[in-house]
């Protein structure tokens, strides 16, 4: 008796309360999505959450927490001699379709790819240049334009060089094939959302595009199978992986392929700094941005997460997104989470305004030093590459160096004959790739704690962060916000004949 009275009442009550949220377009009331990190990953999650939420959706709050005073994360510029240069992520590929779209919707300007003019490349083995292209004289404005674009774009023009072909022969085409094949597979991630699954794991996401196998073998093994000569692998390919990821060809095949994709034509960057993508996305996505606020703990309190910050604030978040690598952070998770151990490759980026010392390279004049000095894999080499960013005059240029260890003053003094300004940045740059890769989950706790940078040991680029972020946004919308409609439809089925009409109220 009691039961038969209570049950219909309960159902009606539930149906009524569901109906309320249904009229809000099936979103639970007052839910907050909190995003930790305002790099391209975090800002892209905010962007895609807004983009894929129905127009009529009720206000979902999005909070973005950033421990720095600026957004952008590993997209950042430095100023040397009054001019600004990319200090972290520099180049984008023409088929990076999300970032291409960001440029349009944010109304940003791009640095167009360089012209056909060649700049010189030298491959340094610690004692001599094992290979050098010719230095072609270019007029200074053009050089400046070309050199504004970072390293690998410089290499592009080398492919037209007869010298390169003479040294590496048809292996170059095999390399190009390998890269194009990988880029082609990656394009599947831009297919219409209606025909593209939402991925709960990185493994699944890579399998679907046919990219997973590339993470289970080294770049070296992949390239040998693709028929590249040892000479090409040990020289030019190594030069490129050392520039782009500070690593050798024993990195994973996928990371390596992405790195080599920098050798295609048409690389570009954002005028004034790539960080503006994050700034623009955050500006356009109606988020509360908390700068200088570092998240120290994330506690699952059942219905929501409580995020505590170094400012002593506590935030209630129904959904939490970690958009930064966790490997070197000590965010306290309650209950604790467990992810596979991953080491980050540190890249020390040193900017120097001055002049390279020809003697260090066994040369007679600084003008004989190639514009881009790449290096082979040799533990005794103190740097990965040195590139001219801008030639101010005969006696002064601005250079950018990458190294795995910090550049000591004494070492810099031997490499440079003049050094007027030096800026050193220590980046926890990207994962140290190996094969086979093991991936952390996108969903850290089987609830609503998400991890964008689980994708980073597939490859670390601005675009791959955006691609991972898009998937995370779709996961959130389907797993959290999609839930209510699932429950509602079950309710309406259960309550048929009794309280079904209430659903339409």
Ligand X SMILES: *[C@@H]1O[C@H](CO)[C@@H](O)[C@H](O)[C@H]1NC(C)=O
Ligand Y SMILES: Cc1cc2nc3c(=O)[nH]c(=O)nc-3n(C[C@H](O)[C@H](O)[C@H](O)COP(=O)(O)OP(=O)(O)OC[C@H]3O[C@@H](n4cnc5c(N)ncnc54)[C@H](O)[C@@H]3O)c2cc1C
Scanning 197-205, 404-412, 452-460, 486-494 for contacts with ligand X by CB under 6 A, the matching segment is 486-494
Of the candidates 10, 134, 136, 486, which one interacts with ligand X according to CB under 6 A? 486
Residue 210 near which of ligand X, ligand Y, none (CB within 5-8 Å, type-dependent): ligand X
Task: State the minimum distance, in angstroms, from the CB of residue 462 to ligand Y.
Answer: 4
- By CB under 6 A, is residue 153 in contact with ligand Y? no
Q: What is the rounded CA–CA span in Å between residue 78 and residue 274?
A: 12
- By CB under 6 A, is residue 487 in contact with ligand X? yes
Q: What is the rounded CA–CA span in Å between residue 19 and residue 505?
A: 7
- By CB under 6 A, is residue 485 in contact with ligand X? no
Residue 40 near which of ligand X, ligand Y, none (CB within 5-8 Å, type-dependent): ligand Y
Task: State the minimum distance, in angstroms, from the CB of residue 285 to ligand Y.
Answer: 14
Q: Interaction with ligand X in 203-242: which residues (CB under 6 A)?
A: 210, 213
- 61-65/288-290 β-pairing: parallel
Residue 322: which of 303, 285, 297, 291 has the closest Cα? 297
Q: Reply yes or no: is the peptide bond before residue 436 cis, omega within 30 of 0.
A: yes
Nearer to ligand Y, 65 or 212 (CB): 65
> How many chain residues are in contact with ligand X, going by CB under 6 A?
19
Residue 357 near which of ligand X, ligand Y, none (CB within 5-8 Å, type-dependent): none
Nearer to ligand Y, 229 or 241 (CB): 241
Q: What is the rounded CA–CA span in Å between residue 57 and residue 51?
A: 11
Please write down the long-range contacts of 493-497, taking CB distance under 8 Å and 24 or more positions apart.
494/11, 495/8, 495/11, 495/12, 495/14, 495/15
Q: What is the rounded CA–CA span in Å between residue 384 and residue 379?
A: 10
- 288-290/110-111 β-pairing: unpaired
Phi, psi of 346, rounded to the nearest 5 degrees: -85, 135
- Inter-axis angle of helices 97-106 and 276-284, nearest 10: 60
Of the candidates 375, 465, 488, 492, which one interacts with ligand Y according to CB under 6 A? 465
- By CB under 6 A, is residue 490 in contact with ligand X? yes
Q: Which residues contact 283 (CB under 8 A, 6 or more apart)?
A: none
Q: What is the rounded CA–CA span in Å between residue 416 and residue 413?
A: 5
Lookup: tokens for 5: 């009275």
Task: State the minimum distance, in angstroms, from the CB of residue 62 to ligand X.
Answer: 15
Of the candidates 89, 147, 356, 412, which one interacts with ligand Y according to CB under 6 A? 89
Of the candidates 63, 74, 167, 474, which one interacts with ligand Y according to CB under 6 A? 74
Task: State the minimum distance, in angstroms, from the CB of residue 321 to ligand Y.
Answer: 11
Residue 438 near which of ligand X, ligand Y, none (CB within 5-8 Å, type-dependent): none
Scanning 88-96, 137-145, 192-200, 359-367 for contacts with ligand Y by CB under 6 A, the matching segment is 88-96
In the beta sheet, which residues pair with residue 309?
295
Q: Interaction with ligand Y in 328-357: which residues (CB under 6 A)?
A: 329, 331, 347, 349
Task: State the minimum distance, in angstroms, from the CB of residue 219 to ligand Y.
Answer: 17
Residue 191: which of 284, 126, 78, 98 has the closest Cα? 98
E runs forming strands in 141-292: 269-270, 288-290
Residue 68 near which of ligand X, ligand Y, none (CB within 5-8 Å, type-dependent): ligand Y
Nearer to ligand X, 140 or 334 (CB): 334
Nearer to ligand X, 71 or 373 (CB): 71
Q: Which residues contact 309 (CB under 8 A, 6 or more apart)?
A: 65, 290, 293, 294, 295, 296, 315
Nearer to ligand Y, 128 or 343 (CB): 343
Residue 299 near which of ligand Y, ligand X, none (CB within 5-8 Å, type-dependent): ligand X
Scanning 67-75, 167-175, 219-227, 494-502 for contacts with ligand Y by CB under 6 A, the matching segment is 67-75
Scanning 85-93, 103-111, 114-122, 178-186 for contacts with ligand Y by CB under 6 A, the matching segment is 85-93
Q: Are 465 and 456 in contact, with CB atoms under 8 Å apart? A: yes
Q: Are 199 and 336 in contact, with CB atoms under 8 Å apart? A: no
- By CB under 6 A, is residue 370 in contact with ligand Y? no
CA distances from 71 to 38, 40, 297, 448 (A): 5, 9, 21, 24
Instruction: Point out which residues bind ligand Y (CB under 6 A).
Output: 36-42, 65-68, 73-75, 88-91, 294-295, 323-324, 329, 331, 347, 349, 427, 429-430, 453, 460-463, 465
Instruction: Point out which residues bind ligand X (CB under 6 A).
Output: 28, 210, 213, 279-280, 283-284, 297, 299, 306, 308, 314, 332, 334, 483-484, 486-487, 490
């Amino acid at each position: 008796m009691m039961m038969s009275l209570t049950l219909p009442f309960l159902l009606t009550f539930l149906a009524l309360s569901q109906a309320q949220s249904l009229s809000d377009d099936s979103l639970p009331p007052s839910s907050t999505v909190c995003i930790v990190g305002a790099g391209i990953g975090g800002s892209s999650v905010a962007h895609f959450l807004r983009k894929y939420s129905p127009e009529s959706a009720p206000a979902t709050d999005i909070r973005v927490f950033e421990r720095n005073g600026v957004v952008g994360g590993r997209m950042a510029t430095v100023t040397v001699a009054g001019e600004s240069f990319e200090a972290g992520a520099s180049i984008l590929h023409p088929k990076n379709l999300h970032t291409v779209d960001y440029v349009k919707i944010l109304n940003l300007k791009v640095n167009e790819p360089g012209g056909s003019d060649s700049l010189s490349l030298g491959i340094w083995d610690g004692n001599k240049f094992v290979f050098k292209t010719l230095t072609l004289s270019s007029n200074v404005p053009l050089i400046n334009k070309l050199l504004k674009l970072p390293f690998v774009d410089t290499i592009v023009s080398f492919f037209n060089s007869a010298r390169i072909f003479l040294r590496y022969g048809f292996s170059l085409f095999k390399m190009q094939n390998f890269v194009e094949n990988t880029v082609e597979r990656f394009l599947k991630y831009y297919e219409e959302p209606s025909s593209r699954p939402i991925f709960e794991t990185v493994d699944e996401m890579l399998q679907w595009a046919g990219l997973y196998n590339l993470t289970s073998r080294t770049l070296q093994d992949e390239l040998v199978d693709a028929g590249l000569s040892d000479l090409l692998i040990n020289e030019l390919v190594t030069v490129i992986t050392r520039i782009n990821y500070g690593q050798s060809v024993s990195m994973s095949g996928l990371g390596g392929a992405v790195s080599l994709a920098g050798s295609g034509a048409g690389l570009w960057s954002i005028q004034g700094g790539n960080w503006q993508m994050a700034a623009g996305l955050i500006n356009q996505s109606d988020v509360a941005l908390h700068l200088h606020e570092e998240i120290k703990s994330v506690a699952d309190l059942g219905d929501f997460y409580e995020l505590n910050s170094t400012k002593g604030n506590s935030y209630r978040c129904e959904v939490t997104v970690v958009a930064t690598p966790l490997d070197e952070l000590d965010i306290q998770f309650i209950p604790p989470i467990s992810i596979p151990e991953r080491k980050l490759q540190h890249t020390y980026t040193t900017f120097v305004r001055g002049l390279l010392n020809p003697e260090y390279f066994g040369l007679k004049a600084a003008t004989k030093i190639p514009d881009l000095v790449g290096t082979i894999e040799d533990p005794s080499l103190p740097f990965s590459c040195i590139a001219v960013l801008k030639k101010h005059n005969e006696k002064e240029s601005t250079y950018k160096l990458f190294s795995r260890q910090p550049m000591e003053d004494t070492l810099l003094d031997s490499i440079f004959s003049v050094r007027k300004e030096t800026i050193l940045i220590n980046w926890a740059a990207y994962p140290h790739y190996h094969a086979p890769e093991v991936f952390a989950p996108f969903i850290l706790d089987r609830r609503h704690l998400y991890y964008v940078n689980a994708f980073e040991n597939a490859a670390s680029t601005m675009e791959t962060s955006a691609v991972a972020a898009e998937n995370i946004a779709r996961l959130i919308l389907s797993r959290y916000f999609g839930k209510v409609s699932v429950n509602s439809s079950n309710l309406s089925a259960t309550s048929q004949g009794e309280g079904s009409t209430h659903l339409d109220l």
